[in-house]
Structure 1
Amino acid sequence: MTTTLSPVASKIRVPHFVRGKLVWGEDSEYLSRDFGVPFVTPKLEFNDLFVPRTQQGPAFDVPVSDIIDFLVETASHLSLEKNEYLQESLEMTVQVSALPRRIIENTFARPGQFLTREALEYRLQRTFGDVDVLDGWVERTDPNGRVSRVRAFPPRLVHMLAGNSPSACMTSIADAALTKAVNVFKMPSADPFTTVAVLRTMADIAPDHPVLQSMSAVYWRGGDEKVESVLYRSQYFDKLVAWGGGAAIENAAKYAGPGFGLISFDPKVSMSIIGREAFESDETLREVAEKAASDVTIFNQDACLAARHICVEGDVADVDRFCALLFERLGIDRDFASAVGPKPASEIREAVDGMRFLEPDYRVWGEFDGRGLVVRSPEMVDFHPTNKTVNVIPVQHMRDAAALATVATQTVGVFPTHRKAEIRDDLATAGVQRVVKLGSAMTGSMGSPHDGMYPLHRFVNWVVDDDA
C-alpha cells in the first residue's frame, strides 16, 4: 500500500483511478470543503477518461449476473477491520470531515445491506421488470401485432458524488456497474478518498474486469469551467448524475442541453408531522420525542432526509412539552449523530437571538453549543435549520402541516403510522417524494424510488428497434 500522508507532510496526496489504473501525482492543489485542509492530485488527463463513441463500453457484453457476482465479491472485502484501503481512507477523511471518527466508521458498514445478491437482484427487478433488457434486445409485440425490440442501452455518465457520507460512493459505484455504464466519478472535496479505496479493492479482486475498465475517479474543483466545459459534452458523455447543494446543481444545469442530460438529486429539506396521539401518555410522548430526535440528527442534520421542521398537532402548552423532551434527546450520541456537533452558523444565531424576545409567540430551548436547538414558532422560520437546529410548528390538523410541504420536501416522518394514509395524497400533491414512519427516515425499503424517480431507469438510454 502506498502511504498518502507522512508524519511530516503538510498536504494529503490524493490519487486518481483511471480505467483500472491507480495514478499518483502532485500537479494540482486544492482545499477540502469543511476545514480547508490542503490536498494534491495528479494532472487531469482528459483523453484517458473517454471511450470513443465509435466503441462500445468495456462492460457492454458482460451479463448483469456476472456484474452482480463481482459487486457481491467486492462487498465481502469492504470491511473496515480488514481492508487497508478503507483504513487509509478513514485516516484521511477524519482530517477533512466535520463528522467525528465514530460516525465515519459507522457509515462504512451501511452499504453492506444494499450490496447483497438478493438486494441487487430485487432492485433491478423493481426498476426494470424484465431484467433481460440490460443484457440485450427484448422482443415485444403490441396490440396491433407490431414487433419491436427494446434495450436499456449502457450509458456514458459523469457522476458528481455526494460529499456528506463516505458510504455514498459505494452505492454510486454499484449503480454505475449495474447499468454497464462508462463512468467518470467526480470525487467530493469533503471526501476525495473513499471512491478510490473501493476501486482499488475491486482491482485487487479482478484487475482486468470490464466493469473496472469502465470506471475513473478523479478530482477537480467544482465549477472549474476549464474542466467542465470539456467533460460535460455530448460527444463524450450522455448524462451528468449530480448530487450537491443549490449552487452546485445550478452550475451543473447550465451544461444540460440536446444530447447531454442532467439527472439531478437536488438539495432537499425534510420534515416530520406528529399527531395528537403523541400526548396520550407521558411514556408515549417520550417515545415520540426520541423518534423525532433520531430523524433530526442524521449526520448531525447534514443530510437531505434529516428533519428540519416538525409540525405537531396540539395546543401550544402540549407542543411545548414535546419541545422540552425533544431538546433533551438532541444532545446524545447516536450511530450517525454526535452529542455535541458543529455549532450553528451566525445567521441562525442572529435569528434565534431575536426570537428569544418574542415569547410567548416564539420560544427557544437550548444554546449555541452544538448540543441542539429547538425553536417553536407559529409558522416556519425563514432561515435554514441545520447543525441540530429544529423548528417546531403547532398545527390544528395534520392536513395543515401537509400544506407546508413543497417540491423541495424530500422525506416526511409521520406519527402515528396509521395516519400516513390520511395525508400522503396531500403530501404527494405538494411535491413530497417519500413518506415514512417517524424515526425511520434513514431506514428505507429496498427497490423504492429516490427523489421521485427510479434512478437506474433514468441512467440507461432506452433504444428501440422497431419493425412497424
Structure 2
Amino acid sequence: MVLTVPAVVRGELVDGPLLEFGGRGAKPFAAPDPAAVVPRLAARDLDLARALNALDLDEVLDYLAELGQRLDPDSNPHLAEAVAESEGLADVPPQLVRSNYRLLAALFTRAATEEVVAAVGRDHLTGWPARRTADGRVGAVHAFGVRSVHVIAGNSPLIAAMTLVRTAITRGEAVVKTPSNDPLTMVALARTMAEVAPDHPLTRALSVAYWKGGDTGVERRLYHPGAFDKIVAWGGMASVRHVVGYLAPGLELVTFDPKQSATILGPEAFHPDAVDDVARRLALDVGAFNQVGCVNARVVYAACGTGPAGVAAAEDLARRVHAHLALLPPEVSTPAPLDPELRAKLRAVRTSGFHTVVGGTGDEGAVVVSQLDEPVDFAVSLAGRVANVVPVDSAADAARHLDAATQTVGVYPASLRRELREVLPLVGVQRTVELGCAVSVHQALPQDGFEPVRRMVRWATDEHLPEGADPLDVVFPPHRQGVTA
C-alpha cells in the first residue's frame, strides 16, 4: 500500500484528491493534488494577518511551550507514524529519525524561544522603540510578520521545527513545501498544532503541502508578490537557482545556500596526550546523524606537516577517527550504505599511490588521507561517514581551500579557534566552532552568514519631527546657510 501524506491548509487536514509521487529513495508516496490546494495556499487573508499581529508575544511563547511538550515521538502518534514510515524516504534510518525527533522539544521551551526573540529584539516585536537621528527626526521601528513560502530541506527534522518557531515568533504566515526525503515531519507538527489549539491564529497561520519542485503550474501561482512577501529556500544549487527565476519586485528571497563544512587542526592536536580525544571529537563532527548535514565535517586540514612524518601522523589520526566512528552511540550514528559512485571513487584512490584509505570496505565509514596538501577531487560528495584528512604545514595554509561555500569550521585547539575567527570570515567562512560541536546548530544564532529571523520580518518605520521643527531643515539643510536669526 502506498503511503498517504495529507496536506494541511490553515489548520485543516486535506487528504485528497491524491496523486502519487516518487521519493528520493525507493518508496513512493501519495499526496493531495497540488492543483486542488493551490488556490487556498495562494489566497491572502487580511483578517488572519490582523489576528496574528494582535497576538501578545508572551501568548505566542506559551503556545510554543505547550506544543513542545507534545513532541515526544514515543507518545505523539503523528511523530511515531513519521518515524515508522520514514524508511525508504529519509536519508537516515528510522532510529536516527527518532533521535532527531527527541531533539525537537528543546527548541520550543520558553528559554529557547526567548533567545530567538532576543535575536530580533523584544521591543521591536512588541512595540515601536524610537530613537532620534542626527538630523533631528525621530524614527520608530517595528518588526511585522509577513507571508512566506518556505521550501525546506529534508536532511534534518530540526529544519521543520526551526521554521515553525521562527514563523510563530515573528507572527507571520507560512506555507511550507515539504521535501521528498521528508514529507512527514512538518505535517506531523501541523497536525499536533491543530490538536493543541485548532482555532488559534498560529495554528491557522501554517499550511503544509507537497508538490514536485519545478511544477510551473503550481509555482507560478505561488511564487509572486501577489501571494507572498518572501520565499525562504533551503537546498541544493539547482533548487535555489530555480526559485530565483520567479523573483520580482515585492518578493524577496531568503536563501540557505548549499554549504560544506570542514575542520582545521593545529599541531597541538597531535600531541600524544591529545590525539585520541581529538579523534573522538572529529569522529562526532564527521559521523553524527550519518553525515547528512551541511554542518558535518568532510575535509580535515591537519597542521601536522607535509613531510613523511606529517603524513604518518595524519594516517595515525585517520585510524583513530575510523575506530571512534564505530563507537558512536547508535542514537547518534549508524552504519551508512555508501553511494555506489562514492564507493567506486574510494576504490580508485586506494590504489592511486597518492592516498591512504582507512576503512570503506563495508558501511562502517572511511577516512581518506591525502599524501599531498590537496583534498580529493570528489570532496564535495563525501557522505556516509567518509572524511578526507589533508596534511598542511600550518593552519593558515587551510584558508586557501575555504570560501563562501564553507559554512562551519571545527577548530582545535581553542587558542587557534580564537585566532582563526578573525581570519576565516574574510574568505567567506560563516561559523567557527569547538571541535566536536559542529552539528549542534543554535536557532537563535546567525546561520549561513545572516540572522534568519531578522530577515523573515518586514521592518517598518514611523518617522516624525520634534514639535515645532521645520521640515525644510530635514529635507534640505543647506537652505539654512546664511540665514541669520
In the superposition, the TM-score normalised over structure 1's length comes to 0.92
Write the distance in 2 (CA, Å) between the matches of 1:134 and 1:345: 50
Q: SS where residue 401 of structure 2 aligns?
A: coil
Query: Which of 453, 456, 459 does residue 459 from structure 1 map onto?
Result: 456
How far apart are residue 368 of structure 1 and its match? 4.1
Q: 1:249 to 1:201 in 2, by over 3 A?
A: same
Question: 5+ unaligned residues in a row in structure 2: which ranges?
Answer: 305-309, 466-485
How far apart are residue 47 of structure 1 and its match? 2.4
Write the distance in 2 (CA, Å) between the matches of 1:103 and 1:464: 45
Query: Which of 320, 327, 341 does residue 325 from structure 1 map onto?
Result: 320
- Show CA shifts across 1:277-334 (max 9, x none): 12221x5211111111110112211100001100111111111111111122223443
Q: Which residue of 1 aligns with 2:284?
A: 294
Q: 1:336 to 1:229 in 2, by over 3 A?
A: farther
Question: Is residue 355 of structure 1 aligned with residue 349 of structure 2?
Answer: yes
Q: Are the equivalent residues in 1 in contact too, given 2:290–2:334 (CA < 8 A)?
A: no
Q: 1:210 to 1:38 in 2, by over 3 A?
A: closer
How far apart are residue 168 of structure 1 and its match? 2.3
Write the distance in 2 (CA, Å) between the matches of 1:444 and 1:167: 10
- In structure 2, give the amino acid aligned to 1:353: R
Q: Which residue of 2 aligns with 1:381?
A: 376
How far apart are residue 266 of structure 1 and its match? 1.1
Q: Are the equivalent residues in 2 in contact too, given 1:51–1:182 (CA < 8 A)?
A: no
Q: Which residue of 1 aligns with 2:87?
A: 94
Q: Are the equivalent residues in 1 in contact too, given 2:269–2:278 (CA < 8 A)?
A: yes
Taking the TM superposition and a 5 Å limit, the aligned residue runs for 1:268-417 are 268-281=259-272, 283-314=273-304, 315-334=310-329, 337-346=332-341, 348-359=342-353, 361-377=354-370, 378=372, 379-383=374-378, 384=380, 385-417=382-414
Q: Which residue of 1 aligns with 2:69?
A: 76
Query: Which of 445, 456, 478 does residue 448 from structure 1 map onto?
Result: 445
Query: Which of 423, 428, 431 does residue 425 from structure 2 map onto?
Result: 428
- State the structure with more CA Rg: 2
Taking the TM superposition and a 5 Å limit, the aligned residue runs for 1:19-418 are 19-43=10-34, 44-52=36-44, 57=49, 58-125=51-118, 127-129=119-121, 131-281=122-272, 283-314=273-304, 315-334=310-329, 337-346=332-341, 348-359=342-353, 361-377=354-370, 378=372, 379-383=374-378, 384=380, 385-418=382-415
- In structure 2, give the amino acid aligned to 1:261: E
Q: Are the equivalent residues in 1 in contact too, given 2:125–2:142 (CA < 8 A)?
A: yes
- In structure 2, give the amino acid aligned to 1:254: G
In the superposition, the TM-score normalised over structure 2's length comes to 0.89
Q: SS where residue 199 of structure 1 aligns?
A: helix
Q: SS where residue 465 of structure 1 aligns?
A: strand
Q: Are the equivalent residues in 2 in contact too, given 1:159–1:185 (CA < 8 A)?
A: yes
How far apart are residue 45 of structure 1 and its match? 2.0
Q: SS where residue 110 of structure 1 aligns?
A: coil
Q: Which range moved further: 47-56 or 414-423?
A: 47-56
How far apart are residue 42 of structure 1 and its match? 4.5
Q: Are the equivalent residues in 2 in contact too, given 1:53–1:235 (CA < 8 A)?
A: no
Q: SS where residue 296 of structure 1 aligns?
A: helix
- State how many pairs are aligned: 454
Q: 1:243 to 1:132 in 2, by over 3 A?
A: same
Q: Are the equivalent residues in 1 in contact too, given 2:115–2:444 (CA < 8 A)?
A: yes
- Show CA shifts across 1:119-167 (max 9, x none): 2112211x223x1322343333223331222221211100012201223
Q: 1:55 to 1:339 in 2, by over 3 A?
A: closer
Question: 5+ unaligned residues in a row in structure 1: which ranges?
Answer: 1-9
How far apart are residue 21 of structure 1 and its match? 0.7
Q: Which residue of 2 aligns with 1:5?
A: none
- Show CA shifts across 1:356-394 (max 9, x none): 2332x3211123422112111120111121222211100
Q: SS where residue 331 of structure 1 aligns?
A: helix
Q: Which residue of 1 aligns with 2:470?
A: none
Q: SS where residue 274 of structure 2 aligns?
A: helix
Q: SS where residue 392 of structure 1 aligns?
A: strand
Cα RMSD of the aligned pairs, angstroms, is: 1.8
Q: Which range moved further: 382-391 or 143-152?
A: 143-152
Write the distance in 1 (CA, Å) between the matches of 2:240 and 2:402: 21
Write the distance in 2 (CA, Å) between the matches of 1:53 and 1:216: 13
